[in-house]
Structure 1
Amino acid sequence: MKHSLPTEAGQTKEAPKREHYIDAINQVFALFRLNYHAQFFKAFSTEAELTQIKKLWLGELARFTPETLLRAAKSILESSDFLPTLHTMIRHCESHSDTAKLPDPHSAYIEACRAPSPKARYRWSHPVVYHAGKACDWYFLQTSAESVAYPVFKRKYQDFCERVRAGEELALELENVIEHKPQTPLNKAENIKRLNMLRENLEL
C-alpha cells in the first residue's frame, strides 16, 4: 500500500515549492520503509498515522531544502540500524545542509570572545558569529564567566543559524564603524549592576 502525503486543495502559485517538499518527505519515508521494514510498520501501523507523522515532519523540516532532506535520510541509512526520530533527522539535516560549514556553537563563542575591536572589521569565520555576539553584547561576553555567557551566546547563535538555514542572508555592518576606545574599568558595584541589566534584557 502506498502511503503518500496528500496535497492540499486550492493551493496558490507557491504550490510547486511545497510540492517539492512533499515529494522529498514521501521519498524519505519510502527509503525508511524499505530499509527499516519491520520497525517502520510497527511504528506506523495505519495510513492515517503515517500521514500525520509526515505532516509533522514536513512542518518541522521546512527550513531545510528538499535536497538536504534526502541527503540526511541517506546518511541515516548508512550510519544507523534504527528507524530515526524527528530529532535525529533534524541533526542529520543540520550536518548535511548547504550551511553545514557554520561553526559549532562553542567554537563560535570562543571566536566572539576573542575577536578584537572594531568587531565589524574583524575577519569572521561566518557573519552569524558576529551577529550572535552583538546580540549578546560584547561587554557581557568579555567580562562574564563562560558558565554564564556561553548558554546565552549558544541560544542566540542557534537562533541566527536557524535564520540562515531558512534562507536569510546576514551581512556584516561595515558602515559607521567606530574605532574602539578603551573604556575606564567599572568598579565591582557597577559591574554587578550592568550584568543584572544584561540578564534582564536577555530574559535570564
Structure 2
Amino acid sequence: MRNATEIVKHVDFSQARPAVQQQPASIDEGTAQVVNSLFNELKSIFPAWKQAWPDDEALKRAKRSWIKGLMAAGIHSLEQIRFGLMTCRASGQDFAPSVGKFVEWCQPTAEQLGLPPTEKAFQEAARNSHPAVGQGARWSHPAVHHAATESGLSNLFRLNEDAGRKLFERNYSIACRMVAAGQPLREIPKALPSEVSTPAKPETVQSELAKMRAALGRRS
C-alpha cells in the first residue's frame, strides 16, 4: 500500500494532468495512477464535480491543494482515503466536497472499524474508572482501554459527566485513528489471580517435615 507522503514526494503537480499518459517521464506511473484515480473516483461519485473543477487548470490546482491538505491533516495511508471515498459514496451529494470535508470523511467512525460506539465506550470507561473495580476491569476492546488510560482513570472518576465525556471522546477519536492506521495501542493488563500463593519459609518447611516424621515414627 502506497503512503500519501510517498505520493507527494514523487508527483510534480505543476505539470500534472488528468490522464496518466500526459505525466512527465520523470514521474512514476504507479504514483500518477494513484493520484489520478482519487480524482477520477471523486468525479464518478459527484455528477456536479465541474462546479469545483471546471477545467484542467482548476483540476491541477485542486490536486496540489488536496494533497497538501491531506498531509497536513495526517491522512498518510490509502486505507484512510478509502474510508473517505466510502463516505463520499454514501453522502448522496451532487457536488464534490472541499478538502476539509474529505479529510473529515477520511476519519472512520468507531462502528466502521468494528469498535464500540463512542457513547457505549465512554460508559464502559466510566464504570471501569471506579477505584472499586481495580484490576477486575473488563474491556471490550484495547481502543477503549487505551482512550481511558490516556484520559486518566482518576480523571474520568472525579470529573463531572460532561467534562469526562469530552475528555474521553477526544482520546477515543485518536485511538480510533490509530486502529485505522494500524498503530499499536496500550496493552490491556492481565488480571491478577484471585489468590496469590507465597512460598513457605525454609524453617517452616523443616518444622512441618519434622512433625510428619515424628507422627510416622509413633505409628510404626
In structure 2, what is the Cα distance between the partners aligned to 1:36 and 1:64? 25
Which residue does the alignment assign to 2:113? 100
Aligned length: 171
Q: Percent identity?
A: 16
Task: Give unmatched runs, 5+ long, in structure 1.
Answer: 180-204
Instruction: Indicate if the aligned counterparts of 1:129 and 1:157 stay in contact, CA closer than 8 A.
Output: yes
Which residue does the alignment assign to 1:200? none
Q: Can you list the C-alpha shifts for 1:76-125, whole angstroms capped at 9, x where unaligned?
A: 3xx2233212333234333479953233433322210013734575141x
Which residue does the alignment assign to 2:127? 114
In structure 1, what is the Cα distance between the partners aligned to 2:188 and 2:155? 20
In structure 1, what is the Cα distance between the partners aligned to 2:77 and 2:146? 20
In structure 1, what is the Cα distance between the partners aligned to 2:76 and 2:25? 16
Name the CA shift for 1:172/1:10 in 2 (closer, same or farther; >3 Å): same
Instruction: Indicate if the aligned counterparts of 2:49 and 2:95 stay in contact, CA closer than 8 A.
Output: no
In structure 2, what is the Cα distance between the partners aligned to 1:10 and 1:2? 12
AA aligned opposite 2:142: P
Question: Superposition RMSD on alpha carbons, in Å?
Answer: 4.0
Instruction: Indicate if the aligned counterparts of 1:132 and 1:153 stay in contact, CA closer than 8 A.
Output: yes
Structure possessing the higher relative contact order (Cα contacts under 8 Å, 6 or more residues apart): 1
Which residue does the alignment assign to 2:174? 159
Task: Give unmatched runs, 5+ long, in structure 2.
Answer: 1-15, 195-220
1:147 counterpart = 2:123: no
> Which of 26, 40, 44 in structure 2 is aligned with 1:27?
40
In structure 2, what is the Cα distance between the partners aligned to 1:108 and 1:144? 17
Q: Secondary structure at the match of 1:46?
A: helix
> Which of 29, 44, 53 in structure 2 is aligned with 1:41?
53
In structure 1, what is the Cα distance between the partners aligned to 2:17 and 2:84? 20
Q: Secondary structure at the match of 1:102?
A: coil
